[in-house]
């Protein structure tokens, strides 16, 4: 079980400075989250390791770096920020983060993807505390996040919505309808984070259906757009701070990530580990490389 601590985000300033000590803690947290992802998926025998490992640094920043205002003891606290995982297939990293923050017992992770289990193969809001929206049908989470941002703005206050999406999802039409609405309504309380790993289940995005120039497209649709290395905590924090300062338009953070980050054979083979889980032997290799 992970035993990590961080300052509770309900009392945080809306901009956060990344200290050397915090960066060290976050690197260790991301490593531990990756370990839990491998354990979960090896036990389940199915699921999506590549993107889950690739987004560990982003999730560590959001849940343990002080960005999300939330309360694990009261998941429906009205003052919370919202995180919507629109590319719901990478839910193992979400589950590992929620368990580590105390939303549910760590033992639940052993039942990933089992029938009637709390942790389904895509996020299910009525089964898993801390899940804001049931997602997985690509594009639906983006539109739900836009609706949440509209509603929170109407209610007043400074609550934010973080919407995570991926390469393959951005080949769909529905997300772009949502982005158009977000820009039209000037939703500066919405931050979209793209897991830009140039991979999908059957190949490289650039080969299957090229979405470049991605940053230019978001800018053309009215977003303030930032490109970063999604494994560099200093760049992650700088981008999130910039999103906080941006007024009058939503922000898109294009996070360049490596599929299977932290596990050498997954990093090398890329998209082949989009939806394939390691067997016992390869899981042991992964856990050793991750320092488990």
Q: How confident is residue 12, by pLDDT bands cut at 50, 70 and 90?
A: very low
CA distance 228 to 59: 15
Q: Extract the tokens encoding 108.
A: 């639940």
Tell me how far the alpha carbon of residue 5 is from its chain's centroid: 19
**Quick one: pLDDT at residue 4?**
42
Q: How confident is residue 136, by pLDDT bands cut at 50, 70 and 90?
A: confident
How many CB atoms within 10 Å of residue 238? 14
145-170 pLDDT per residue, tens: 999 999 999 999 999 999 999 999 99
How many CB atoms within 10 Å of residue 71? 17
In CATH, the number for domain 21-289 is 3.40.50.970
Name the strands in the sheet holding 190-196, side by side, starting at the edge strand that comes first in the sequence.
82-85, 161-166, 190-196, 251-256, 224-229
Spatial contact of 197 and 261, defined as CB atoms under 8 Å apart: no
71-127 pLDDT per residue, tens: 999 999 999 999 999 999 999 999 999 999 999 999 999 999 999 999 999 999 999
φ/ψ of 191, rounded to 5, equals: -120, 120
Give whole-number Cα distances, 162 to 218, 240, 248, 253, in Å: 16, 10, 16, 10
174-212 pLDDT per residue, tens: 999 999 999 999 999 999 999 999 999 999 999 999 999
Average pLDDT of the chain to the nearest whole number: 94
pTM of structure: 0.95
Q: Is the pLDDT of residue 1 over 90?
A: no
Q: Could you give the count of Cα atoms lying within 13 Å of 126 in the half-sphere of its Cβ? A: 1
Three-class secondary structure of residue 162 per DSSP? strand
């Amino acid at each position: 079980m992970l035993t990590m601590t961080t300052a509770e985000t309900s009392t945080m300033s809306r901009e956060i400075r990344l200290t050397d000590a915090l960066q060290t803690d976050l690197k260790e947290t991301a490593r531990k989250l990756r370990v839990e992802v491998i354990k979960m998926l090896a036990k389940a025998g199915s699921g999506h390791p590549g993107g889950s490992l690739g987004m560990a640094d982003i999730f560590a920043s959001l849940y343990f770096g002080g960005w999300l205002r939330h309360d694990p003891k009261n998941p429906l606290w009205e003052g919370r920020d919202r995180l919507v995982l629109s590319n719901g297939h990478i839910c193992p990293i979400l589950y590992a983060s929620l368990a580590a923050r105390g939303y549910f017992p760590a033992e639940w992770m052993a039942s990933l993807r089992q029938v009637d289990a709390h942790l389904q193969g895509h996020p299910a809001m009525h089964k898993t505390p801390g899940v804001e929206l049931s997602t997985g049908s690509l594009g639906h989470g983006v539109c739900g996040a836009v609706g949440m941002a509209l509603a929170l703005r109407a209610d007043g206050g400074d609550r934010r919505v973080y919407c995570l999406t991926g390469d393959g999802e951005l080949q769909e039409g529905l997300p772009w309808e949502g982005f158009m609405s977000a820009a039209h309504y000037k939703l500066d309380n919405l931050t979209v984070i793209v897991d830009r790993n140039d991979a999908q289940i059957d190949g490289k995005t650039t080969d299957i259906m090229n979405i470049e120039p991605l940053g230019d497209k978001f800018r053309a649709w009215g977003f303030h757009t930032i490109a970063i290395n999604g494994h560099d905590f200093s760049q992650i924090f700088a981008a999130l701070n910039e999103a906080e300062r941006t007024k009058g338009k939503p922000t898109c953070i294009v996070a360049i990530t490596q599929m299977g980050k932290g596990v050498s054979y997954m990093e090398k083979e890329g998209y082949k580990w989009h939806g394939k889980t390691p067997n016992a032997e390869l899981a042991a290799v992964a856990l050793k490389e991750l320092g488990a």
